[in-house]
């Protein structure tokens, strides 16, 4: 019996070693590098400039008050902080010594020079869909920015997430390299929208939930999810009529992306930053293509209905507070006034599964992004300093339960947690 037990243990060890070796191979394998793009140099640089804006590269690689693309931007994660590296063409501290092939491997394979595994906060899981000509264009553009001698700040992750070698296992489970392949059954415009959403735009980074190891789930259908650490809710970008974009037109979506405002709603929170630094620079054709594609996405699987019915006393208090503080802009009927004061009635941001965005806006206020079409946006004042958690819960409950909205009640505890999450 002992002999068979020993043999069984040995077989188990060998199987574990084999499984570990397979996972390592899956996580480290590479595809052949395609031939470089052939294009006019000035056209390639201009194309790269546009792609840098579409991908919002400056959002992670330009610190507030810092030099463009010199890095240092903190990227908070549940596992600790990462910092956007220097991607200027400085030879010592940036990517000046990188070849075009090195840059291709970083975006397509998620590997730096020498095979160094990159953390997936850098969205190579989406950038892998970019073809060589787009990657080369982005590389050509970054070679034109001013070089900055500034060392990249190392990650500050907790153990064991600071062990970079473990990324091989994460990649084996969650990453497959592959350039975007157009769907021949769809139009050129639809395919362009899909590519921008799934590739350089990396919309799934916010609009899809993440598992315990930070991998996006169901990214193709963009079902929405709470953004880790930031505690804002990125709503579904599918055709769900109640919580997604089902009541929006493709033109509405394009308007929000380019102008930060549309008839159904305005961009707030993290999305306002994305519009400011990225999507306002989309061409009209690309914005319309994104709208067309998102309108084609089917609703995600319906989640269990867990909303709480509001009590009469809470609704009465909420109505009084709304009349006092909100109705002058958003109107007593919740229909708003033009695009400066958006409607709250049947607004998908208001009726979302999560009430986080409405709570944050009432607590902290905010502005729509300043864009070419709306250079001086109206702002909403913060009510958190003079309204307690009970009052804010009541007014948010009233907003989410009036004028045809049926999103359910909000508790003072939810407001308290949001207040704590907003603190630096």
Q: Which residues pair with 157 in a beta bridge?
A: 80
Residue 281 marked ligand-binding: no
217/245 Cα distance (integer angstroms)? 20
* 360 among annotated binding-site residues: no
**Which residue, 396, 392, 419, 420, is CA-closest to 408?**
396
Cβ 367 vs Cβ 298: under 8 Å: no
Give the residue among 105, 136, 100, 134 at the shortest CA–CA distance from 122. 105
Residue with tokens 């769900």: 240
Angstrom distance (rounded) from CA 205 to CA 55: 12
Q: What is the DSSP letter of 297?
A: S
**How, if at all, do strands 225-226 and 156-157 pair?**
unpaired
Q: Is 130 exposed, middle or buried (0-12, 13-18, 19+ CB in 10 A)?
A: buried
203 is in an annotated binding site: yes
How many beta carbons lie within 10 A of that of residue 246, not counting itself?
Answer: 14
Residue with tokens 């590479």: 30
Q: Is 202 labelled as part of a ligand binding site?
A: no
Q: Are 321 and 395 in contact (CB under 8 A)?
A: yes
**CA 284, 287, 293, 299 torsion: positive or negative?**
negative
Peptide bond preceding 405 in cis form (omega within 30 of 0): no
d(CA 354, CA 225): 9
Feature table: binding site = 57, 60-61, 203, 206-207, 326, 329-330
Feature table: binding site for heme c = 57, 60-61, 203, 206-207, 326, 329-330
């Amino acid at each position: 019996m002992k002999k068979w037990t020993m043999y069984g243990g040995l077989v188990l060890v060998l199987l574990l070693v084999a499984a570990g070796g397979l996972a390592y191979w899956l996580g480290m394998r590479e595809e052949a590098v395609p031939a470089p793009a052939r294009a006019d140099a000035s056209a390639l640089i201009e194309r790269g400039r546009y792609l840098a804006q579409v991908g919002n590269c400056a959002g992670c690689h330009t610190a507030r008050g810092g030099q463009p693309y010199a890095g240092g931007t903190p990227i908070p994660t549940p596992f600790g902080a990462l910092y956007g590296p220097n991607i200027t063409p400085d030879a010592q501290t940036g990517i000046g010594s990188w070849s075009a092939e090195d840059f291709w491997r970083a975006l397509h394979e998620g590997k730096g020079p020498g095979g160094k595994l990159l953390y997936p906060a850098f969205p190579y899981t989406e950038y892998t869909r970019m073809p060589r000509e787009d990657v080369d264009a982005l590389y050509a553009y970054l070679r034109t920015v001013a070089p900055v001698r500034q060392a990249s700040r190392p990650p500050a992750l907790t153990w064991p997430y600071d062990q970079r070698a473990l990324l091989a296992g994460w990649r084996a489970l969650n990453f497959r390299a592959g350039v975007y392949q157009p769907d021949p059954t769809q139009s050129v415009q639809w395919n362009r929208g899909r590519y921008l959403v799934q590739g350089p735009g990396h919309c799934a980074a916010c609009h899809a939930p993440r598992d315990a190891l930070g991998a996006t789930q169901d990214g193709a259908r963009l079902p929405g999810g709470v953004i880790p650490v930031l505690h804002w809710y990125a709503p579904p970008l599918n055709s769900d009529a109640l919580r997604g974009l089902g009541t929006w037109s493709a033109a509405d979506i394009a308007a929000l992306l380019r102008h930060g405002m549309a008839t159904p709603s305005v961009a707030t929170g993290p999305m306002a930053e994305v519009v400011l630094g990225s999507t306002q620079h989309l061409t009209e054709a690309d914005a319309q293509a994104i709208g067309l594609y998102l309108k084609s996405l089917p609703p995600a699987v319906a989640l269990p209905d867990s909303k709480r019915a509001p009590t009469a006393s809470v609704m009465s208090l909420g109505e009084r507070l709304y009349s006092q503080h909100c109705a002058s802009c958003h109107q007593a009927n919740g229909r708003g006034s033009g695009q400066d004061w958006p409607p709250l009635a049947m607004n998908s941001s208001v009726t979302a599964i999560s009430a986080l965005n409405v709570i944050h806006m009432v607590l902290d206020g905010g502005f729509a992004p300043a864009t070419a079409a709306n250079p001086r946006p109206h702002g909403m004042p913060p009510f958190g300093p003079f309204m307690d958690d009970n009052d804010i819960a009541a007014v948010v409950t009233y907003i989410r339960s009036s004028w045809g909205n049926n999103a359910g009640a909000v508790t003072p505890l939810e407001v308290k947690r949001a207040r704590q999450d907003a603190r630096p």
